[in-house]
Structure 1
Amino acid sequence: MNAPGTLVLIMAIAVLAPLVAYGLGRWVRIPLVIFEILLGILIGPDVLGWTHHDQVIDTLSDLGLSMLIFLAGYEIEFAAVRGDTLRRSAWAWVISLAVGLGLAFALTGADVPKSFVIGTALTSTALGTVLPILRDSGDLRGRFGTVMLAFGAVGEFGPIIAMALLLSGRRPGESTLLLAGFAAVTAAGIWWALRPRPPWFSRIVETTLHSSGQFAVRFVMLLLVCMLGLAAAFGLDTLLGAFAAGLLTRLVLVGAAPESSEEVLGKVEALGFGFLVPLFFIVTGIEFDLDSLLGGGRTLLLLPVFLLLFVVVRGLPVYALAPRDLNRTDRRALTLYASTCLPLVVAITTIGLDDKVLEAGEAAALVGAAMLSVLVFPLLALRLRAGEGAAEVPDGRSAGSEAW
């Protein structure tokens, strides 16, 4: 099938996926991303064979991943995640990286390049995937949501930094210098974003918000593309630029046009979650190597091993360092959410495959385990939080019942 036909089929799947999720939601709450990936696998070369690798579709998929990471970066509120919570989340990720690399070295027989790929993948948190689930359930508000944002942000940002340092193929010293240069430019951008905007900026944002001009949306897209280009110019992964663009966009919009910032974000989210992000997840399903996974042997055995390692490497340090004001149930739910991963696992395994560091079966096992983490861990966390809410609400209803 040619590129236009493939895109039509992918968008049809993007429309079908929420209908299936909504229909089944009366019995079981399954994250939408699971249906997008599974339907992508269904139309992919290993099942129905209706779609195949295409450069145009891959480019749109890359934009979808960048948009997902951008929106995750936008969600970060510096005032909410600073201080002790941020320090705890940073130390939890550092411990995760050390444990992940150690276990990866043991698993691969001290194969250094492969250990870097696997170890880094084990430390990620899919904040962009978890956020819609938290928002829909009402868990994003309050103390639990603030803590999850902090741990999730570090779980997104930390692996991206590790990718730049460990998976770039350059010497560590060179990578560190390039990363420092990018950080310096980003810091200058933050300084600029924090400066007062001229009055005309907020006026034109409000004036064009419901017109064909859409100045604010165009400005956000320009900022995103500029940060992607800056990361590429420094030889770093563009996901680092996407995350930084999200941070900068929040500072600019909230500072310059606070009355319009939520509506602007709604328009950007409509572009992201309405087109680019589902395209990324569906293409992930299309390109998933199902044959390698179902071929049995070592690949199939690795899948539950990686799923367990996501909890051990990422989850346990989060549980140990979670703020003490969270009760045990919330800490368990935080552990499960933090162990949920997928987008960065896909990105990291893609790098491993391109560099011929990972075998196809190993990549399929990692991505398959990440898909299971998205399916299983948030559901368990939602049930934990709902059970806790049921114990606290006098009339016996779950605190998250409105979202179900």
Structure 2
Amino acid sequence: MQGLSTTLVLIALLAVAAPLAVRFLDRVVKVPLVVFEIVLGILLGPSLLGWIESTQFTDTLADFGLAMLFFVAGNEIDFADIRGRPAIRATAGWVISLAAGVGAGFLLAPTPEAAVIIGVALCSTALGALLPILRDSGESRSPMGIAVTALGAAGEFGPLIAISLFFSGRQLGPATAVLLGFVFLAGIAIFLASKARHTLFHSQVTRTLHTSGQFAVRSIMFILTVLVVLSMVLGLDMLLGAFAAGVLWKVAIARAPERDRKVIETKLDAVAFGFLVPIFFIDTGIDFDLGALTSSPSALAMLPLFVILLLIIRGLPSMLAAPPRSTFAEKRAIMLFGATGLPIIVAVTAIGRDQGFISSGISSALVGAGMLSVLLFPLLALRQGQRGGRRAAEARVAQEEVP
């Protein structure tokens, strides 16, 4: 009990320290918040100082945080914005990335299972981590932001399907049938939610929005729990249920008064990014096996290799989703955003390590590459996007000045 108490207090301290560190360094360099959360977890975890040890309770909270991250991703995707060209091109790019990733996996790993794990990790995009970055930078509604959202939707939903198909413990045929059954049930729920008026539901949300009833937040947790449990009962990855729950909630609350939806979004951000999601990223740092990475020269060499492979295998195909007439700088920004991956990498490598498909060294190298991608790629992408935007604006001004 003493160890758990110390761990909880220190995790809460790190959750407070991370945004302060971001603000302190903001004038020098803009570092994504999740990077500080992971690095602080590594620093105080068993790999370095050893002040925090992962427990079953903190792991459970971290799982809730990961589920909430994917719920927010499903809730924030505007399918009306990404449908058509962005979605088609993003999906095509993801299929290319998956094929290339599995091919690279076969070159690096001795078994088909390990190759699939490496391939799925390398074809992912961290939409849950990118959405706050895009929102904070004011790019979420821009053409580039819409393209990145489409990339993230394909780069998170696609790997979730792949995980559910290949690692459900069933043959591919039965696994596909179960997956289609889940998609069918979730699709019916989303369709019915989109057609219903929800008058009583919305009135109850409004009535309890500023009371202890908090019907909206309780409904979010109920929908999230039901779909996560359903996906787990069916042998699918829980993140698939969390993602579907986010989409379902977005449809269910769509016709509520706009002022209520804004308040609910604020409350959702508070629960997700104020409580659960930081625990997931800090716990990722605590569980990171730095020793397995540094003690093996081959694993250490794989770290920069995986960073490069993320750029090539995931980044280059992501450029297919670039908006028409994008500058080369904007295309480079989209490539960097598309190659940013972490949550799926953490999830799929945990599966591979627990089932003995990959070694702790390969797992740590993949997670380390994901952390570096979150640290470096969005920062470089924002600079490229701003440069591309300035050049596009200068070109428009020059055209207007031509008589």
TM-score range relative to shorter protein: over 0.9
TM-superposed CA distance for 1:168, in Å, is: 2.1
**Residue 116 (structure 2) pairs with residue 103 (structure 1):** no
**Which stretch of structure 1 is more off in the superposition, 260-269 or 18-27?**
260-269
8 Å Cα contact 2:327/2:388 also seen in 1: no
**Residue 281 (structure 2) pairs with residue 271 (structure 1):** no
8 Å Cα contact 1:205/1:257 also seen in 2: no
TM-superposed CA distance for 1:387, in Å, is: 1.9
* Counterparts of 2:261 and 2:251, CA distance in 1: 10
State the Cα deviation string for residues 124-166 of structure 1 (Å, max 9, x = none). 0001111111111111122111111111111010000000011
8 Å Cα contact 1:92/1:318 also seen in 2: yes
For 1:2-401, list aligned pairs within 5 A.
Answer: 2-109=3-110, 111-391=111-391
Residue matched to 2:400? none
- For 1:138, the aligned partner's letter is G
| TM-score normalised to structure 1 length | 0.94
| Paired residue secondary structure (1:47) | coil
Instruction: State percent identity of aligned pairs.
Output: 47
| TM-score normalised to structure 2 length | 0.95
| Paired residue secondary structure (1:221) | helix
8 Å Cα contact 2:147/2:321 also seen in 1: no
| Paired residue secondary structure (1:254) | coil
* Counterparts of 2:385 and 2:198, CA distance in 1: 45
- For 2:305, the aligned partner's letter is V
TM-superposed CA distance for 1:201, in Å, is: 2.0
Stretches of structure 1 lacking an aligned partner (at least 5 in a row): 395-404
- For 1:101, the aligned partner's letter is V
TM-superposed CA distance for 1:114, in Å, is: 0.6
8 Å Cα contact 2:124/2:159 also seen in 1: yes
* Counterparts of 1:253 and 1:58, CA distance in 2: 31
- For 1:100, the aligned partner's letter is G
8 Å Cα contact 1:194/1:255 also seen in 2: no
* Counterparts of 1:34 and 1:141, CA distance in 2: 24
**Which stretch of structure 1 is more off in the superposition, 253-262 or 238-247?**
253-262
- For 1:267, the aligned partner's letter is K
- For 1:130, the aligned partner's letter is L
- For 1:123, the aligned partner's letter is C
8 Å Cα contact 1:17/1:35 also seen in 2: yes
8 Å Cα contact 1:117/1:167 also seen in 2: no
State the Cα deviation string for residues 172-231 of structure 1 (Å, max 9, x = none). 011101101101101111111102324222222112111111111111111111110111
* Counterparts of 1:193 and 1:37, CA distance in 2: 37
State the Cα deviation string for residues 234-291 of structure 1 (Å, max 9, x = none). 1101000000001111111113444411221210110110010000000000010011
- For 1:67, the aligned partner's letter is M
8 Å Cα contact 1:197/1:256 also seen in 2: no
- How many residues of Structure 1 are paired with residues of Structure 2 in the alignment? 393
TM-superposed CA distance for 1:389, in Å, is: 3.5
- For 1:34, the aligned partner's letter is V
| Paired residue secondary structure (1:326) | coil
Stretches of structure 2 lacking an aligned partner (at least 5 in a row): 395-403
- For 1:209, the aligned partner's letter is L
**Which stretch of structure 1 is more off in the superposition, 345-354 or 195-204?**
195-204
8 Å Cα contact 1:201/1:256 also seen in 2: no
State the Cα deviation string for residues 82-101 of structure 1 (Å, max 9, x = none). 11211111111111111111
8 Å Cα contact 2:322/2:331 also seen in 1: yes
TM-superposed CA distance for 1:323, in Å, is: 3.7
- For 2:61, the aligned partner's letter is L
8 Å Cα contact 2:296/2:361 also seen in 1: no
Distance change (3 Å), C-alpha of 1:198 and 1:373: closer
* Counterparts of 2:285 and 2:136, CA distance in 1: 24
* Counterparts of 1:252 and 1:321, CA distance in 2: 29
8 Å Cα contact 1:39/1:282 also seen in 2: yes
